Amino acid sequence: MNRHGSEHTNSSAAPTVTDDVTQDAVVIVPGIMGSELYDTVARKTVWGLSGVSWLLKAWTRPKGLEPLRLTPEELEGRTTRIKATQLMRHSSWTPYLQGLEPYTDLIAAVRGCVADPAAVLEFPYDWRLPVAVNGHLLARAARRHLTAWRRHPAHDTARRNRVDERPARLVFVAHSMGGLVTRAALDATYDGALADDTRAVLTLGTPFHGAVKAAAILSTGRGTPVPLPHRQLQSVSATMPGLHDLLPHYACLIDGRNARRLTPGDVAGIGGDADLAQAAVEFQEKQANVRLPGHWAVAGTNQATMQSLTIRDGVVHPHHHGVRQHTNGDFIRDPRGGLRFYDVKGDGTVYKDSAAVGPAVTPLPLQHGAVASDRVALKAVAEVLRDDEHLGPPQGAPGCGLDVPDLVDVGAAWDITLSGVNSLAGLRCEIADVTGRNPRVLRAGWGDGHIRARTTVDAPGLYRVTVRTPDGHAVTQLVLAGEPGAVREVE
């Protein structure tokens, strides 16, 4: 034996290095609209087909999303019509939520950290349904997955190379709504031992306190013209328990000199369903004490994000600021007794304080749809899976904020607005179609106190705007472009 303790006698022989992979079973839980849905009656995919042409048809044709509307039978619990088949494998788009990046990079990152592909469970679910329903299904699926993995030959080999050679436990990696579904699954009502069999939960942009955008989606915009895609989304969302589960349940409604939570009556008044809203409130109260073992939250930051709202004549008017409270529950006020407002930003959909829940939080300057695909976020996923100490994001300036329209007309000029940066030096802004073909570098300049870039696109499709900052961060967002007639405003 040599002085380093190696047992090989040939000093020139290289030591055997064991792969740093976990013996645990991993479950990937996507966010809202992150699972492909198949209609078993009509025998066709109703959400998640590949190709920009399908997106344009779904959003710009009247009743293009009608198959997503919940039927009376589904609202009563008979939910066999729609089957979730897989996690989204390509970029998608929806009004308000904007660009939805595929889960392929996240899946690849997780598979690189496990002993065998059999250790990974992808959990697609029907995101239209209540979080409680999907949580129950996830609890059952996770238990089956852990049991099967512990019986797999690769599991026993992997545990022999790990500290204490312990058997596998579960690690949940959840994006957006998937974090709420995971929390529901860990409710002891479903499986009393599941939390004890879970080592860690990593949430990526999960709205634990809800999102004002959910209220904006439900708002009908009475008396004002609304683009057809937005109108379609509102119409089908009004029947979705899952969307109501995302409504904010903090004091977000500015009501005169006070702020309060939304009531079921408020939700019905803006175009939602009072019964679904009441069920969401009751469910949220039950979830308040459910613990997430080893919870680590990745929260998007620095992006302009809806944080509060007012309601006038049944129309939601969102605001990029919100109120704060003292530890005794009183609101922070100015010397005249008026509410003080704060802008804590977020990921463009979920404001930071809603996602940054738990003892361990990694803030990253990302848009909501990219939280589960960014390289730094994936590094955090890998470190949690491998049990390493997570050192957080790179040091330095935290990227920048990116604000783009969700829907644009072909041939019409539109603005890309950056925030959180005070110099053009080192910035690079470009646009390309979603396949990455024909990228164009855009010239940025100052306008109205912000750095902006103006551009047009000459063909319908899905486009990705990318901004790279000197600190090494890349912030992206997807934009859907359609012919002017196809995205017309309707009363």
From first to last of the 491 residues of the chain, give the pLDDT tens digit: 343 344 444 555 666 666 789 999 999 999 999 999 999 999 999 999 877 888 888 898 888 899 999 999 998 999 999 999 999 998 999 988 888 899 999 999 999 999 999 999 999 999 999 999 999 999 999 999 999 999 999 999 998 888 778 999 999 999 999 999 999 999 988 899 999 999 999 999 999 999 999 999 999 766 667 788 998 999 999 999 999 999 999 999 999 999 999 999 999 999 999 999 999 999 999 998 899 999 999 999 999 999 999 999 889 999 999 999 999 999 999 999 999 999 999 999 999 999 999 888 999 999 999 999 998 899 989 989 987 544 455 444 467 899 999 999 999 999 999 988 888 888 999 999 998 888 999 999 998 888 999 999 999 999 999 999 887 788 999 999 998 865 555 44
Q: Is residue 138 packed enough to be buried (19+ CB in 10 Å), middle (13-18) or exposed (0-12)? A: buried
pLDDT at 17: 64
pLDDT digits (tens, 9 = 90+) for 126-154: 999 999 999 999 999 999 999 999 999 99
Residue 328's contacts (CB-CB under 8 Å, 6 or more residues apart) are none
Query: Quick check: 260 and 339 in contact, CB under 8 A?
Result: no
Query: Quick check: 362 and 296 in contact, CB under 8 A?
Result: yes
Ordered domains of the chain (ranges, CATH): 18-393 (3.40.50), 401-490 (2.60.40.10)
Q: Angle at Cα 247 formed by Cα 243 and Cα 249, nearest 5°?
A: 150
Query: Quick check: 272 and 244 in contact, CB under 8 A?
Result: yes
Could you tell me which residues are beta bridge partners of residue 482? 409
Q: Is residue 449 packed enough to be buried (19+ CB in 10 Å), middle (13-18) or exposed (0-12)? A: exposed
Question: What count of other Cβ atoms lies within 10 Å of the Cβ of residue 488?
Answer: 13
Name the pTM for this structure: 0.90
Distance CA 373, CA 104 (A): 8
pLDDT at 7: 45
Query: Quick check: 393 and 378 in contact, CB under 8 A?
Result: no
Residue 187 has phi, psi (to 5 degrees) of: -65, 130
